[in-house]
Structure 1
Amino acid sequence: MKKDRTPKGEGERPRREVPPIKVFVTDDEKAELSRRAASCGLSSAAFMRAAGLNHPVKARADLEAIGELVKLNGDLGRVAGLLKLWLAEKRGQGASAVEVERMMIEFRELQQGIREKMSCIVSARR
């Protein structure tokens, strides 16, 4: 019996001399499994192991969408902070009602962006 090999990278499982499980699939099925594994940032073996053991498999797209939400939320906070500062210190000064309305439109657009990213996450989870 051979000793366990040290994993090559962080997060990899130690390999052991155990027999693989063979699954017969068509070329189309193999391509689809590979595509799904890649979309999750996993190897085909890791994806099949997770699916076979009924472990949750999170798509990499979820993490990217969450990162985008964080950025949008930061932008939204900055816009709100600027509006609050203006209202507190410069009420009626330095900015016309049109400029304030334009800022509010940008604020709403950012909110819409967040809702769109949330919808992407929900759709991807189905």
Structure 2
Amino acid sequence: MDPNSKPPTRKSHQLRVPVMPEEALEIRRLATTAGLPVAAYLRSVGLGYRLHGILDHQRVEELARINGDLGRLGGLLKLWLTDDPRTVKFGETTILAVLSKIEDSQREMQRIMREVVLPVAGRKHL
């Protein structure tokens, strides 16, 4: 093969699909939600791939809740580490329980993040 020649290209065909203006807007919105250009979105849907949005609002709310829990637990731990008189009643068992809860929350956040970042048709996993 000549090193100056272009690599072979895949011959493609374009399909025309008439849509109403509001349908075009909705298709564009759905493509954006899936994180795809319109052509890739329509190709994927037309070939029967199941698409997922790139953002799952319910899961984001779960992550925000867990983040709040971690903030509160971190605040308790910080209070304990500063030898605040209010923490005298906390024993080692309580502190270890707080650390365990932080680790559990981190694992839960990681699990949810893996589920939230869904593979989109045509993209490779990172």
Shorter-chain TM range is: 0.5 to 0.7
Amino acid at match of 2:19: P
- 1:86 matched residue in structure 2: 80
Q: Aligned equivalents of 2:97 and 2:67: distance in 1?
A: 19
Instruction: Give the aligned residue type for 1:114.
Output: M
What runs of 5+ residues in structure 2 fail to find an aligned partner? 1-17, 42-50, 121-126
Task: Classify 1:54/1:63 alpha carbon distance in 2 versus 1 (closer, same or farther; 3 Å).
Answer: farther
Picking from 47, 55, 66, the partner of 1:72 is: 66
**For residues 112 and 52 of structure 1, what CA distance do their matches in structure 2 show?**
33
Structure 1, gaps ≥5 residues long: 1-18, 22-42
CA RMSD of aligned residues (A): 3.4
Q: C-alpha distance in 1, partners of 2:87/2:65?
A: 31
Matches within 5 A, 1:1-126: 20=19, 46-47=26-27, 50=31, 53-54=38-39, 59=53, 62-88=56-82, 89-90=84-85, 93-122=88-117, 124-126=118-120
CA gap of 1:78–1:118, structure 2 versus 1, over 3 A, is same
Tell me the amino acid that sits aligned with residue 125 of structure 1.
P
CA distance in 2, matches of 1:94, 1:66: 36
Runs ≥4 in structure 1, deviation > 6 angstroms? Answer: 55-58
Partner amino acid, structure 1, of 2:73:
V
- Over 3 Å counting, the alpha-carbon distance change for 1:58 and 1:97 in structure 2 is same
Structure 2 length normalisation: TM-score?
A: 0.52
Deviation at 1:63, TM superposition (A): 2.1
TM-score (norm 1): 0.52
Q: Which has the higher contact order (CA 8 A, sep 6+)?
A: 2
